[in-house]
Structure 1
Amino acid sequence: MTLSIPASATATPSRRWLAFAVLLAGAFLPPLDFFIVNVALPSIAQGLRATPAQIEWVIAAYAATYAVFLITGGRLGDLFGRRRVFLAGMAGFGMASLICGLAPSPSVLIVGRVLQGLSAAAMAPQGLASIHALFPEQERSRALAVYGAALGFAAVAAQVLGGVLIAADVFGLQWRAIFLINLPIVAAVFLFGMPFLPDTRSATPASLDRPGVLLCALTLALLVVPLVQGRELGWPWWLCLMLLSAPLVTLGFWRHEAALERSGGTPLLSPQLVRSPRLLAGLLSALFFYVVSAFFLTFSVYLQDALGASPVVTGLMFVPFGVGFLVGPLTTPIAIRYFGRWVPTLGMLLEALGCLILAITVGFSAASERPALVPLITGVGLLGFGQGWALPTLIRSVIDRAPSGGSGMVSGLVNSALQISAALGVAVFGGLFYAVSAPTHSPATLGRGFIAALLGIALSLGLSALLALYASAPRPDSPKSP
């Protein structure tokens, strides 16, 4: 694939890294806004009088929109230039953050989150795609390491930052500050970063699969809407019909993608590409893996509504997860040396063990009393450490299964699968949490709801671990180790 790059964008190493720093802002903001909102959910529920289903939508709407349009966002950069699409996405993200920050009702906030997801899908892929255009081969590994560290830091810092911003109550904004803080970052990009941004694009860009995107969005909507709203609305017939229609629309999506591929087009998801059973198992593993997103929702609500913890304390309770998530990847090379292809599976099993420790700890504590701190920290830390082992190695093992020339599409697919997993995790296990804790939402019922969600997440992680182990098995034609 040939890329046109202005000479000014690659003239000096310092200019390359300045351009990359600007692009990193577009990679940093999407995970920041996915995680930062978790600590604020009880405050949002109280401030806007939001129902449990509306609180689930604050997370699920963002994750689902981001997932569906992520691959399309990358193709838009190839077609129209990554600089243009990045800046359009950044501007849209700023406007969406303003809508969220000023939202007078839960419905407006959810619309703002959908717009945030759309904008994030436009700007986030441009940074990763530009690494090959900006850096010579000897510098790319360092750039990729910085890119991964930025994503990890965003996930880690978001929880604490959210708690601090709410507690500080700057200008009386309370939870609104977690969205409005994006505006200075967006303004800085436009004021100081634009001169450094290169204009790169693909010489042979893939066409947009508009029907595929619409069918994929419809499939996800037919799943997520009933799962989030069903419990609250009493499962009316039209929601049941939506859920039953999802497999039919999925089949229609698959047939459209196959027909487009046969006609020489570029589908959103290549049926031929994922025909390999082990590659398909890897993508399914990713689909079951990121349901851990529901942990952030349920743990935050449990801490604040059941135990009366402040937003700052709640944010600090996520620190062990962040520490584990940072330490995990640092020890991955050693783990691979001793455990090989078992590392993703072991990471997921460590996460499941963390869930079980938390469930037992909460189960043995009194309803409104804080559980024992040491096992609580241990469980949260294991969740983070296990994810630090599993996430990068799972992505790498799936991409390694891609046939020649298909790694780009598989990379997009696995990242979309992770975001879809996040949306479904919140819908399924967030819904389970609220169903078990209803109707009183007392400390005792919230504790039982949290335990139920943890057990569900652990079960899903166990299934993901088995799929990952199957997906990473050596090919029959690969040479055996002596």
Structure 2
Amino acid sequence: MTAGITGRAADSAAIRPGAWIALSACLIAVFMQMLDLTIVHTAVPALALDLRADGPAELLIVSVYGLTFACTLPTAARLGDLLGRYAVFTTALSGFAAASVWCGTASSAGELALARGSAGVAAALVSAQTIAILTGEFPERMHATVFGVYGAVAGLAGMAGPLLGGALVDADAFGLGWRTVFLINIPLAGIAMTLARRQLATVGDATDDRPRQPYRRRVDRWTLLLRRLDIGGAVLSAVGLGLLIYPLTFGRALGWPPITLVLLGLSIPVLAVFGWGQYRRARGGGEPLVRLELFGDRGFAVGAVLTALFYGVFTALLFTVSVAVQSGLGWSASRAGLVMLPFAVGAVAGALSSPILMALWGTRALTVGVTVFAVALGAIASTVHTAGPDLDIRELTGPVLAAGAGMGWFAAPLPAVMLARVVHRATGSASGIVPTVQQIGSALGVAVLGTVFFAHCREGTAQSYLTAITAVLWIMAALSALLAILTFAFPRRQP
């Protein structure tokens, strides 16, 4: 077995005091983060008109949040280990609320992009703590249930973003228009901070496993903190991830200029140097930002591959469907949102029922979930191909609902399966790796499948868009079938 990763000590049968308060805070936080990722899409036309933003500025406003989010995650997870996860969680929530106020009061496109980038950094600091907090607060026997609820809320928020964004812009409350899509974060962040601080005041930072050392001088404490943080590794990880994700995010829209390919190429040696440095630091008895030995556990390694592939398919699905029905068929944003509404319902139902399937079938429940997802995508592709421009969204209700349920059955329990043999001291690093892999997969999926999609709809007609989305849906179904096969690489166990 891999030293330090497998062989988790038996969890206490009792749930920690205040664990449900911690869960509530984390659920609100993940809802807010996922909402902010997608809610801005329907507000872009209004804010672009108000701020006189051109195409590149619009793309930056939409994408910079996810870019800074992904680049900050590894360092954010380590900060939680060093400073205490609740302390970082609550401080970052305050930062996220402040960044949301900045977004909602921005007077130019450049200022809004900067504010969105700062919100992404704060969101990463929050997100990197949630998995570690929930893993520490609940015994292992509860992880499938907890992550099922967590996945349901995250899926609901991602689906609700475009619908809520359109409703807020149309409502124009207090004459604020598009600004309300950012200002809505303030009460959500306030509630999550209140709950987290109540938990911290009641039982202390139960997830904080830092050594308690009596520092007499503040300067010595911060010097040691910076030394333990591994500043060089933090810079290399941020630069390497930025070189990888930036061209994947912006390359297609920019027409893949040579510089984007150069940046992609540079990401490989930078990330390789980062990985080697983390390995050397761990071998020398230091504390790395990323514990590479996590990937020595088969469950975690297989789960990371599945996470990247699945979120690549899922994010590309949302992107291409939205473009196809709005740009190709001329549907409104609200009607486009209705197409995916059954998906959200199915995802929530699937995530909430996933612990039952895990109890019955163990990790093979993941196979069932992603197989249902693949078959449903094939059914959607067939329906779209048959109906053509006369497509009636009611015909898609059944397969879209099934696709959502398949996603819930697969994606919600996946983190619990990945972390089943990860010891407590490694959950901080794992908590940063999991969302980082999700972001990389999402960027890669949109870049690759988005390129395939636009290659098929160059004519700009409704039929060409339908042809394009049909082709991409079949590719997604095939990739999901591959995911179903890969799930058999998991150890025959349940989390």
Q: TM-score, normalised by structure 2?
A: 0.78
Secondary structure at the aligned position of 1:319 is classed as helix
1:252-271 aligned within 5 A: 252-271=273-292
Q: Which residue of 1 aligns with 2:436?
A: 416
1:272 corresponding residue in structure 2:
293
Residue 469 of structure 1 corresponds to which residue in structure 2? 488
Q: Distance in 2 between matches of 1:261 and 1:20?
A: 32
| Residue aligning to 1:76 | 79
**Would the aligned equivalents of 2:80 and 2:129 in 1 still touch at CA under 8 Å?**
yes
Contact 1:288 1:463 in 2 (8 A): no
Higher mean displacement: 274-283 or 175-184: 274-283
Give the distance between the partners of 2:478 and 2:360, measured in 1 at CA: 26
1:248 aligned onto 2:255? no
Could you give the per-residue CA deviations for residues 394-413 of structure 1, whole angstroms, max 9, x where no partner exists? 22322235478645533442
Amino acid at match of 1:85: V
- CA deviation after TM superposition for structure 1 residue 29, in Å: 1.3
Counterpart position of 1:321: 343
The corresponding residue for 1:203 is 210
SS at match of 2:376: helix
Q: Which amino acid aligns with 2:292?
A: P
- Residue aligning to 2:181: 178
Q: 252, 257, 274: which one pairs with 1:236?
A: 257
- Distance in 1 (CA, whole Å) between partners of 2:256 and 2:160 is 38
Q: Which residue of 2 aligns with 1:331?
A: 353
* Structure 2: tracts of 5 or more residues without a match: 1-15, 213-224
The number of equivalent residue pairs is 461
Q: Tell me, in whole angstroms, the C-alpha distance in 1 between the residues paired with 2:400 and 2:45.
A: 20
**What per-residue deviation string (whole Å, max 9, x for no partner) do you get for residues 33-86 of structure 1?**
123334445656666676776666555433343233334323323323445423
Counterpart among 466, 469, 472 of residue 447 in structure 1: 466
Amino acid at match of 1:227: L
Give the Cα separation in 2 of the matches to 1:103 and 1:191.
27
Partner SS, residue 266 of structure 1:
coil
Paired position in structure 1 for 2:402? 382
**Residue identity in the other structure for 1:454:** L
Residues 65 and 344 of structure 1: CA distance in aligned 2, closer, same or farther (over 3 Å): farther
**Offset, 1:180:** 1.9
**Residues 343 and 314 from structure 1, CA distance in 2 versus in 1: closer, same or farther, beyond 3 angstroms?**
same
Residue 97 of structure 1 and its aligned partner are, at CA, apart by 2.0
Residues 1:422 and 1:237: Cα distance change in structure 2 (over 3 Å): closer
Distance 1:58 1:462 in 2: 34
CA distance, structure 2, for counterparts of residue 457 and residue 136 of structure 1: 36
User: Which consecutive unaligned segments of at least 5 residues does structure 1 have?
Assistant: 1-11
Structure 2: distance between partners of 1:56 and 1:350: 34
Q: Does 1:294 align with 2:301?
A: no
Provide the rounded CA distance (Å) in 2 between the counterparts of 1:195 and 1:260: 37
Separation in 1, partners of 2:250, 2:196: 42
Provide closer, same or farther for how the CA distance between residues 240 and 72 of structure 1 changes in structure 2, counting only shifts above 3 A: closer
Residue 241 of structure 2: aligned partner: 220
Q: Does the Cα contact within 8 Å between 1:355 and 1:454 map onto a contact in 2?
A: yes
Structure 2 residue aligned with 1:283: 304
Quickly say closer, same or farther: Cα 1:403–1:78, change in 2 above 3 A: closer
CA distance in 1, matches of 2:91, 2:76: 11
For residues 221-278 of structure 1, the C-alpha deviation after alignment (integer angstroms, 9 at most, x for no partner) is: 2233333443444433322222222222232222111111111122233233313555
**2 CA distance for matches of 1:31 and 1:160?**
13
Say which of 154, 157, 160 aligns to 1:154: 157
Equivalent residue, structure 2, for 1:357: 379
Inter-partner Cα distance in structure 1 for 2:368 and 2:384: 24
Residue 450 to residue 388, structure 1, CA distance change in 2 (3 Å): same
With the length of structure 1 as denominator, give the TM-score of the two structures: 0.80
% same residue: 33
Letter in 1 for 2:69: Y
2:415 is matched with which residue: 381, 395, 400? 395
Does residue 303 of the first structure (1) align with residue 322 of the second (2)? no
Does structure 2 conserve the Cα–Cα contact (< 8 Å) formed by 1:166 and 1:178? yes
Instruction: Provide, for residues 95-148 of structure 1, a one-character-per-residue CA deviation record: whole Å limited to 9, x for no partner.
Output: 322343344555544433322221012223445544577789999998767655
Q: CA deviation at 1:393?
A: 3.0
Offset at residue 391 of structure 1 (A): 0.8
How far apart, in 1, do the equivalents of 2:322 and 2:94 lie? Answer: 30
